[in-house]
């Protein structure tokens, strides 16, 4: 009786596994196998990897993506911590309202964001005209359509993303800890160094990894802002698999496999490190 | 005295941050309401002409329709498949459950571009229409949100003891699921649905790479217009923001009423401890 019911309910899981197989697992396996097939003969080969790893154009794409992601996540993380901390000092009601708007802002990416930044910082952007009127050459060397411009644009969605993860963990720090530390004679600085920071350190590290991965995977914003002019991994892969003139789907798959391996490694290593940090804490 | 001072600097930080966050919205709105804004700090005129032009553009209307169709089709598939799946896995298959927990990090490990590469490898040139592939890809992309959303709702109503109670009273699993679990997670499901709705509605990466210009959704329309006429594109974006803000207002409203409900339930629990089950069971 019991067994029969068990069998019946596993049947209900079939749609989920079928869809996952059709649209995630099998496509990923095909992508991996096709990265090992020759473009001309279709036989097994390693030449795609050889080409991707030796062609400076391709590893430059990884370097560019990595650089933009690291800068936008480090700066974004610092600002996210400052803003989250400031938020915890406000009345509950305002905090609730702010989290809603931050949620909206974290989703404000892609085409609309790119265009808003063109209006603000583009070649005839508002800030450019503003500083020109003041005779300040602050932006004269700045180019929005360069990797610096991309990093600044990414920052706009990285900060709210960081807050979404940092703010809840800051809220968990108990007021009692602070009071206890002060009672025992700790200064504010000493409290943060010995109690506050260590207790949120795992979530800071985890947030950094998520922000970095988010930056690496960004396609829409970069595409809307620079077309295919900036050599990023996502832009390169997209052009290789769907471009009309330069389409080389097999090389695109090879890049995608390497990209996926890097991302998965980063996530696994960070999870392992986080576990260790947590153990040390307890 | 000291805390007051700290509050002032907190307010200052948050004001600067809010200004920074609001600036792009304001500039897009101003741009949508002017005809010429290139050499001055503020636009020189004010008009609604772009919004009128937008409403009259049949391409805009069909782009909105396409986005809505795609969103609703995919949402239907996601809800019908995922709600029972997460429920069953949570209740009866803890091994599958721990596997599915790994899914939550998936969109960061496999960004849209990689998923699109795999899907194109498998389905381009096949007899399966790309539209169906797009729906499948979006389904995969929404798994983490759906899984977490449904699972959190199930946890918050203590599904396991509810089902146990229902079974002791003689209900079978299906009845218990439909008549007890579903009505209780309705609100949580609605919130998750709205979140996924806004992410599907603004989807770009998969749509652009899998189907591209052949199926012009709202984001693709936006990008095309952006390169032709910035003012009109801004008008599209402003309308789009208004929709998004409406959706998030609804979400906050629902979330706060959910919280209130929970508090009410807790209060009842204290006074009428044994009536707990009765307040949750429908009828």
How near does any CA of chain B get to the CA of A102, in Å?
9
Q: Do residue B113 and residue A242 have CB atoms under 8 angstroms apart?
A: no
Residue A30 in any domain: the answer is no
pLDDT on residue A158: 93
Half-sphere exposure of B89 (CA within 13 A, CB side): 21
Burial of residue A40 (CB within 10 Å: 0-12, 13-18, 19+) is exposed
Can you list the domains of chain B with their CATH numbers?
1-47 (no CATH), 54-255 (1.10.3720.10)
Q: How far apart are the C-alpha atoms of B232 and B238, rounded to whole Å?
A: 10
Residue from the list B109, B120, B124 with its beta carbon closest to the beta carbon of A260: B109
State the angle between helix axes of A249-281 and A56-88 in degrees (0 to 180), rounded to the nearest 10.
Answer: 40
Tokens standing for residue B256? 């706060």
Q: How far apart are the C-alpha atoms of A217 and B271, rounded to whole Å?
A: 52
Q: Which of A89, A59, A32, A155 is nearest to B118 (CA)?
A: A32
Residue A60 in any domain: the answer is yes
Cβ-based contacts of A216 with chain B (< 8 Å): 111
Domain of A214, CATH number, reads 1.10.3720.10
Domain count for chain A, please give it: 1
- pLDDT digits over B157-192, tens only? 888 888 888 888 888 888 888 888 888 888 888 888
A246 touches chain B (CB under 8 A): no
A219 touches chain B (CB under 8 A): yes
How near does any CA of chain A get to the CA of B275, in Å?
31
How near does any CA of chain A get to the CA of B274, in Å?
31
State the ipTM, two decimals: 0.85
Q: How far apart are the C-alpha atoms of A185 and B54, rounded to whole Å?
A: 65
The answer to whether A211 and A76 are in contact (CB under 8 A) is yes
Residue from the list B137, B241, B251 with its beta carbon closest to the beta carbon of A23: B137
pLDDT on residue A251: 92
Q: What are the b/e assignments for B26-65, b being 16+ CB within 10 Å?
A: ebbbbbbbbeebeeeeebeeeeeebbeebeeeeebeebbe
Per-10-residue mean pLDDT for chain A, 282 residues long?
Answer: 60 89 93 92 90 91 95 95 90 81 78 90 82 76 86 93 87 78 83 82 87 92 89 93 79 94 88 69 48
Displacement of CA B239 from its chain's centroid (Å): 17
Q: Which of B3, B203, B206, B31 is nearest to B115 (CA)?
A: B206
Q: How far apart are the C-alpha atoms of A231 and B154, rounded to whole Å?
A: 45
Spell out the per-residue pLDDT of chain B, length 283, in tens: 445 566 788 899 999 999 988 888 888 998 898 887 777 777 777 888 889 888 899 999 999 999 999 999 999 999 999 999 999 998 888 888 888 877 766 767 888 999 999 999 999 888 999 999 999 999 999 988 888 889 888 888 888 888 888 888 888 888 888 888 888 888 888 888 888 888 888 889 999 999 987 889 988 998 888 888 888 889 998 988 888 888 878 877 887 777 777 677 666 655 544 433 333 333 2
pLDDT on residue A282: 43
The answer to whether B110 and A265 are in contact (CB under 8 A) is no
- Chains A, B: CB contacts within 8 A come to 215
Residue A274 in any domain: the answer is yes
Residue A35 in any domain: the answer is no
- pLDDT digits over B231-251, tens only? 888 999 898 888 888 887 887
Q: How far apart are the C-alpha atoms of A116 and A123, rounded to whole Å?
A: 13
Q: Where are the alpha helices (DSSP H) in A111-248?
A: 111-121, 126-133, 147-172, 175-183, 188-191, 197-217, 220-226, 233-242
Compute CA distances A192 → A29, A82, A146, B8, whole Å. Answer: 48, 13, 38, 20
Residue A210 in any domain: the answer is yes
Tokens standing for residue B19? 């200004």
pTM above 0.90, yes or no: no
Residue A78 in any domain: the answer is yes
Domain span including residue A142: 47-281
3-62 in chain A: CB under 8 A from chain B: 5-6, 9-10, 12-13, 15-16, 19-20, 22-24, 26-28, 30-31, 34
Q: Do residue A217 and residue B112 have CB atoms under 8 angstroms apart?
A: yes
């Amino acid at each position: 009786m019991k067994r029969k019911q068990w069998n019946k309910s596993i049947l209900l899981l079939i749609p989920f596994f079928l869809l996952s197989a059709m649209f995630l697992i099998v496509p990923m396996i095909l992508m991996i196998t096709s990265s090992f097939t020759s473009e001309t003969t279709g036989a097994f080969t390693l030449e795609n990897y050889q080409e991707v790893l030796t062609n400076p154009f391709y590893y430059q794409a990884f370097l560019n993506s990595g650089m933009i992601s690291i800068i936008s996540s480090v700066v974004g993380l610092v600002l996210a911590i400052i803003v989250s901390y400031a938020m915890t000092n406000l009345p509950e009601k305002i905090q609730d309202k702010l989290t809603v708007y931050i949620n909206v802002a974290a989703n404000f990416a892609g085409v609309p964001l790119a265009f808003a930044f063109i209006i603000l910082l583009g070649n005839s952007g508002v800030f450019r005209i503003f500083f020109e009127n003041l005779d300040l050459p602050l932006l004269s060397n700045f180019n929005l359509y360069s990797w610096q411009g991309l990093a600044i644009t990414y920052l706009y969605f990285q900060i709210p993303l960081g807050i979404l993860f940092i703010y809840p963990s800051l809220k968990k720090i108990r007021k009692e800890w602070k009071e206890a530390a002060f009672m025992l004679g700790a200064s504010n600085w000493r409290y943060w160094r010995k109690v506050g920071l260590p207790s949120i350190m795992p979530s800071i590290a985890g947030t950094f990894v998520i922000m970095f991965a988010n930056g690496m995977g960004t396609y829409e914003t970069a595409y809307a802002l620079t077309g295919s002019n900036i050599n990023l991994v996502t832009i390169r892969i997209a052009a290789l698999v769907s471009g009309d003139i330069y389409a080389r789907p097999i090389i695109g798959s090879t890049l995608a496999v390497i990209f996926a391996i890097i991302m998965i490694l980063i996530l696994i290593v960070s999870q392992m490190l986080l576990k260790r940090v947590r153990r040390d804490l307890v | 005295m000291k805390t007051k001072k700290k509050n002032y600097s907190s307010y200052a930080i948050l004001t600067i941050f809010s200004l920074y966050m609001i600036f792009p919205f304001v500039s897009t709105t101003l741009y949508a309401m002017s005809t010429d804004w290139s050499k001055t700090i503020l636009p020189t005129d004010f008009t609604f002409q772009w919004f009128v032009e937008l409403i009259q553009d049949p391409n805009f209307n069909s782009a909105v329709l396409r986005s809505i169709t795609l969103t609703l089709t995919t949402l239907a598939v996601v809800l019908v498949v995922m709600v029972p799946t997460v429920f069953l896995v949570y209740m009866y298959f803890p091994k599958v459950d721990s596997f599915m927990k790994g899914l939550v990090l998936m969109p960061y490990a496999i960004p849209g571009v990689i998923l699109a590469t795999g899907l194109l490898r498998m389905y381009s040139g096949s007899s399966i229409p790309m539209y169906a592939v797009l729906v499948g890809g979006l389904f995969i992309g929404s798994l983490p949100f759906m899984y977490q959303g449904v699972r959190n709702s199930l946890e918050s109503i203590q599904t396991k003891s509810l089902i146990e109670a229902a079974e002791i009273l003689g209900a079978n699993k299906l009845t218990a699921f439909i008549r007890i679990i579903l009505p209780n997670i309705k609100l949580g499901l609605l919130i998750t649905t709205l979140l996924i709705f806004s992410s599907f509605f603004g989807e770009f990466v998969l749509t652009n790479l899998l189907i591209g210009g052949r199926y012009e959704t709202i984001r693709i329309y936006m990008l095309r217009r952006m390169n032709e006429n910035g003012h009109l594109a801004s008008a599209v974006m402003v309308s789009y923001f208004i929709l998004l803000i409406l959706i998030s207002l609804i979400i906050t409203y629902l979330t706060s009423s959910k919280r209130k409900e929970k508090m009410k339930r807790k209060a009842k629990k204290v006074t009428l401890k044994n009536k707990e089950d009765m307040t949750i069971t429908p009828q």
